[in-house]
């Protein structure tokens, strides 16, 4: 039998769960549980349930006894907000909703304070899910035909990529085309381009590399066995995606200056602001951004706007531009005149 404290939490969680069985919910939709049902779910006697209901009432939870043939219990609204229980999915959804509300809504300040409180007690295992959900929910559409993927799908694919587990999923083709058989793949990389998420994977049935639009993927469970990653037939994920997708996803011609850097932020946070760049997920709090600009200086300045650590910068021209900007910004912070004006001609 569970300890009393654990059992009380389990009982409270059940009472908070909405019941949909006909004849049990009142007009306000509040759930009722019979004593026998609660006893069965908790593996205790109805007498123990009655004692635990009394303890919850002493703690301030307004549990009402419902009259009827078998009797029942309902958690009503009270005069104050008691402690609440949330499962993992509910906690993630609440955090994403609060983050959205904290950005420019009428309750922004209160939402931000509530998000801070939630973040203090949130288990670390949920934080990556929140980063992915928050980024995909907030990401704006990039051009006609762009469809936001299911955030849960993004998270499931990301987990499989990092766990190196084979995936099975249904993949919808272009509108009007027949559905294909379930795909079996070794997922290698999850990346975004022009605001659209892609999965780069080795197709086991076709024995070749494939790129799948994440908004068309419906994962199947369970995942398959672990695999040893194959070598991608390109210098990096950016080159592979650019080569395969050029001209098929509304891309613009290459910029005269293109480079990459590893940023200390989740891919989902960087993707909505990456423009026509490609964002490759490297971990819960790291991603590689490959993008371009009209000059190396402009590209170096663009990296700074993410306000995070910057590593793995390349090529050499981009590293030089970063060093030049660092010198100028340091001089500006000290009230100086900035970098040597004579170097401007070669800056870009």
250 and 177 in a common domain: yes
Residues 287 and 209 in one domain: yes
Domain identity same for 176 and 258: yes
Verify that 181 and 256 share a domain, yes or no.
Answer: yes
Does 201 or 337 have the greater pLDDT score? 201
Higher pLDDT, 117 or 213: 213
Are the C-beta atoms of 10 and 1 separated by less than 8 Å? no
What is the distance of C-alpha 75 from the center of its chain? 32
Confidence at residue 181, expressed as pLDDT on a 0 to 100 scale: 74
Q: Do residues 241 and 214 both lie within one domain?
A: yes
pLDDT of 225 strictly over 80: yes
- Note whether 330 and 193 are same-domain residues: yes
Which pLDDT tens digit goes with each residue over 38-52? Answer: 888 888 888 898 898
| CATH number of the CATH domain containing 49 | 1.10.10.10
Distance CA 104, CA 219 (A): 34
Is the model's pLDDT at 345 over the cut of 50?
no
Long-range contacts of range 177-184, CB-CB < 8 Å, 24 or more positions apart?
182/220, 183/210, 183/212, 184/224
pLDDT-derived band at 244 (thresholds 50, 70, 90) equals confident
> In the structure encoding, which two tokens stand for residue 164, read together?
């190196």
For the chain, give the percent of residues with pLDDT over 70: 70
Same structural domain for residues 241 and 181?
yes
Q: Are residues 132 and 68 in the same domain?
A: no
Range 182-199 average pLDDT? 84
Judge whether 80 lies within some domain: no
Q: Match 């910068």 to its residue by tokens.
A: 313
Of 23, 48, 75, the position where a domain reaches its end is 75
Mean pLDDT (whole number) for 32-38? 82
Q: Are residues 250 and 344 in the same domain?
A: yes
Q: Do residues 201 and 284 both lie within one domain?
A: yes
Average pLDDT, integer, range 200-222: 88
pTM over cut 0.85: no
Most confidently modeled range among 70-84, 148-162, 246-260: 148-162
- E-strand ranges in the chain read 32-33, 63-66, 72-75, 167-171, 183-193, 196-203, 208-213, 217-220, 257-263, 278-283, 286-293, 310-314
pLDDT at 265 over 80: yes
Tokens of 97: 């909703």
Q: What mean pLDDT do residues 76-93 have?
A: 68
Is position 145 within any domain? no
Q: What is the pLDDT of residues 130-187, one digit of tens each?
A: 666 555 555 544 444 556 677 788 888 888 888 899 999 988 766 555 556 788 999 9
* pLDDT for residue 156: 85
71 shares its domain with 95: no
d(CA 319, CA 261): 10
What share of the chain in percent tops pLDDT 90? 12
Average pLDDT over residues 288-299: 86
pLDDT of residue 23: 39
Q: In terms of pLDDT, which residue wins out, 219 or 335?
A: 219
Whole domain around residue 92: which residue ranges?
A: 88-138
Both 215 and 272 in one domain: the answer is yes
pLDDT above 60 (res 19) = no
Total domains, the chain? 3
Q: Is residue 227 part of a domain?
A: yes
- Residue 319 in any domain: the answer is yes
Q: What is the CB neighbour count within 10 angstroms for residue 278?
A: 24
Averaged pLDDT, 302-328: 91
- With respect to residue 81, please indicate whether it lies within any of the assigned structural domains: no
Confidence (pLDDT) at 202:
92
């Amino acid at each position: 039998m569970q300890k009393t404290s654990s059992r009380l939490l389990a009982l409270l969680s059940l009472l908070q769960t909405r019941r949909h069985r006909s004849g049990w919910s009142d007009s306000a939709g509040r759930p009722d549980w019979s004593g026998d049902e609660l006893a069965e779910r908790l593996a205790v006697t109805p007498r123990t349930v009655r004692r635990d209901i009394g303890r919850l009432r002493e703690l301030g939870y307004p549990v009402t006894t419902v009259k009827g043939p078998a009797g029942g219990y309902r958690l009503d609204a009270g005069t104050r907000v008691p402690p609440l229980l949330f499962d993992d999915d509910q906690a993630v959804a609440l955090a994403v909703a609060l983050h959205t509300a904290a950005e420019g809504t009428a309750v922004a300040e209160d939402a931000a304070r509530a998000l801070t409180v939630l973040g203090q007690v949130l288990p670390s295992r949920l934080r990556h899910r929140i980063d992915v959900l928050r980024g995909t929910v907030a990401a704006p559409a990039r051009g006609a035909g762009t469809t936001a993927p299911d955030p849960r799908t993004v998270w499931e694919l990301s987990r499989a990529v990092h766990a190196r587990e084979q995936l099975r999923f249904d993949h919808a083709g272009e509108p009007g085309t027949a559905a294909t058989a379930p795909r079996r793949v070794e997922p290698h990389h999850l990346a975004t381009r022009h605001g659209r998420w892609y999965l780069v994977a080795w197709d086991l049935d076709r024995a070749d590399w494939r790129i799948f639009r994440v908004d068309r993927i419906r994962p199947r469970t369970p995942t398959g066995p672990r695999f040893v990653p194959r070598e991608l037939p390109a210098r990096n994920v950016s080159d592979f995606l650019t080569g395969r997708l050029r001209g098929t996803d509304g891309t613009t011609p290459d910029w005269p200056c293109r480079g990459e850097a590893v940023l200390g932020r989740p891919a989902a946070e960087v993707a909505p602001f990456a423009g026509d760049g490609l964002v490759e997920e490297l971990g819960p709090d790291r991603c590689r951004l490959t993008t371009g600009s009209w000059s190396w200086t402009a590209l170096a300045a663009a990296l700074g706007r993410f306000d995070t650590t910057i590593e793995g910068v390349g090529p050499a021209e981009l590293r030089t531009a970063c060093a030049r900007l660092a010198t100028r910004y340091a001089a500006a912070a000290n009230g100086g005149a900035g970098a040597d004006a004579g170097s401007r001609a070669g800056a870009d």
